Amino acid sequence: DIQMTQSPSSVSASVGDRVTITCRASQPISSWLAWYQQKPGKAPKLLIYAASSLQSGVPSRFSGSGSGTDFTLTISSLQPEDFATYYCQQANTFPPLTFGGGTKVEIK
Amino acid sequence: QVTLKESGPVLVKPTETLTLTCIVSGFSLSNARMGVSWIRQPPGKALEWLGHIFSNDEKSYSTSLKSRLTISKDTSKSQVVLSMTNMDPVDTATYYCARIRDYMVRGVTFDYWGQGTLVTVSS
């Protein structure tokens, strides 16, 4: 199984801050990586697929980069509605498809 | 407008079989390169992929749960069904169905999700 490790597990930030979340795969996955945002009590929302492609309707302050084993999700200027938990997911090798453990973005 | 909605019991007893139905609208389960996945999330924990079924009827299951899972679809009814046998309290979670689209280009990613249904396993 491909293990997905996110860091940090939580981050405190202020509105307007630049926030970076990293995700590491236990073996190379090319660019087959997705990022999701989840707010409490809600289903996850797809933000990024294929490591850097922005899902339709997602604000451009979200961006993704990386390939192989190391990936990054960046929020360029944190907005109040961005406080949530973020998950990465490897999207090519299955079974099983695997998610990271999540990164909670909290208000500083 | 694409929607998915899960339905099924909110409470099951240990050893029972859970059956959840996902009704989809706004797309067809027969559309090429599409599929539906089941994903669960125990309270306060991370997401766990359970399995999926593609439009060509190809299926894949979690390796750790494979012996307990069955996913099927009825294209005419626009529904996908998850069956999980021998339920245990550790299976208490919110269960989601989610759409897979253009997996050859986007990878197996989930662009639309149902609202989720919380299933509690308790005697």
Summarised one tens digit per residue, pLDDT across range B74-121 is: 999 999 999 999 999 999 999 999 999 989 889 999 999 999 999 999
pLDDT (0 to 100) of residue A92: 87
3-state DSSP assignment of residue A102:
coil
Are the Cβ atoms of B107 and A101 closer than 8 angstroms?
Answer: no
Of B47, B107, B114, the CB nearest to A32: B107
Assess whether pLDDT exceeds 90 at residue A108: no
How confident is the model over B25-48, as a mean pLDDT?
Answer: 96
Q: How many CB atoms lie within 10 A of CB B122?
A: 10
Assess whether pLDDT exceeds 90 at residue A20: yes
A102 is written with which tokens? 């999540």
pLDDT (0 to 100) of residue B86: 98
Chain B residues near residue A33 by CB distance under 8 angstroms:
107
Average pLDDT over chain A, rounded to an integer: 97
Q: Contact, A99 vs B48, CB < 8 A?
A: yes
Omega before A8 within 30 of 0, i.e. cis: yes
How confident is the model over A12-39, as a mean pLDDT?
Answer: 97
Nearest CA in chain B to A100: B46
